[in-house]
Amino acid sequence: MRGAARAVLSGFIDYAGLFPPASQSMQDAVRSYAAYRFRPDGWALGRFVVPASRLPEWEEAIADLPTDSGRGAWPLSCLLGPNRADDLAAIAAFRDRNADGTASLTAMEAKVETASDVQWLRSRVDSATELYLEVPRDGTAPVVSILEPIQQAGAYAKIRTGGVRADEIPPPGLILRFLEEVARRKVPFKATAGLHHPVRRVAPLTYAPGAPSALMFGYLNVVLAATVLWAGRPADEAERLLLAQNPATLTIGDASLCWEGLPVSVEEIARARREFMRSIGSCSFTEPVEEIPAT
């Protein structure tokens, strides 16, 4: 894989196989993640995403793996549901049970609506754990007012970029506004949902036969738009990259990636990945890594 593709994908894909549209069982998702760790492109794999309420299931599933099949030292990102106090207690108990290093729970994710939500979570989640807080929508716009308390709390933002229904895919203007605001405030973020494919295109919304299709964002669109904004380049370049759909105009090299006539250097991508766009959540690992154009 060329240098620019590696810069994009290194540790990029937080595996969310438990979630729609894949909706795997815990046992199948654990087995899949274990297998992906041993693939030649396993360097693209990030954390295993698991709801806090299902941590005991994860422990049972990983205990069933053969000892040479990727057991131990799994990086986890834990989702908090509506019963946050219970979930945090479950996480604390899980950490006590796994103090020997079976797992490394390095991130938590939660939805927030108000500054009070942010403050409550930050006061209960240690600073060594990356805290990703999903920014709500107000119609076709992100609620950017929530970004100030997220920034003040030293937390990270999270944006949902798709779903299993067409109406769950946000308009481009919403994503662009979010990217501009988190870049301006220097708030790192992750994106999740609907980013299985590298290039923006019409694709089925689920894996069911005959599933409806919709115009979905590609992860390259989002990460490159984020990259140029993080590099201080014009917003119209970010918009062009976010909307790009033609893979024929995409060239991926060792030193740069060029799309729609806009070059983005490996150094710019690597810096944005390190400091700004941390990862994506995807219920597929194989589609993002296998579909990236080999140019």
Residue 187 located in a structural domain: yes
Q: Residue 31: pLDDT above 90?
A: yes
| Residues 41-54: tens digit of each pLDDT | 999 999 999 999 99
Tell me how far apart the alpha carbons of residues 5 and 212 are, in angstroms, rounded to a whole number: 30
Q: Which two tokens stand for residue 220?
A: 């390259």
Residue 150 located in a structural domain: yes
pTM of the model: 0.95
Task: Give the position of tokens 């360097």.
Answer: 43
Q: Quick check: helix, strand or coil at residue 71?
A: coil
In this predicted structure, what is the pLDDT of residue 156? 98
Residue 273 located in a structural domain: yes
Q: Residue 295: pLDDT above 60?
A: no
| Residues 192-216: tens digit of each pLDDT | 999 999 999 999 999 999 999 999 9
Backbone phi and psi for residue 171, each to the nearest 5 degrees, phi listed first = -65, 155
In this predicted structure, what is the pLDDT of residue 7? 97
Q: Where on the phi/psi map is residue 71: left (φ > 0), alpha (ψ -120 to 50), or beta?
A: beta
When divided into structural domains, the chain yields a total of 1
| Residues 147-169: tens digit of each pLDDT | 999 999 999 999 999 999 999 99
Q: Taking residues 74-80, report their average pLDDT.
A: 96
Q: Which residues contact 70 (CB under 8 A, 6 or more apart)?
A: 33, 34, 35, 37, 38
Q: Residue 71: pLDDT above 60?
A: no
Residue 295 located in a structural domain: no
CATH number of the CATH domain containing 87: 3.20.20
**191 bridge partner residues:** 159, 280
Task: Give the position of tokens 């481009």.
Answer: 172
In this predicted structure, what is the pLDDT of residue 172? 97
**92 bridge partner residues:** none
Residue 172 located in a structural domain: yes
- In angstroms, the Cα distances linking 11 to 115, 122, 239, 267 are 30, 25, 25, 16
Q: Which two tokens stand for residue 101?
A: 């290093």
Q: In terms of residue numbers, what domain contains 131?
A: 3-290
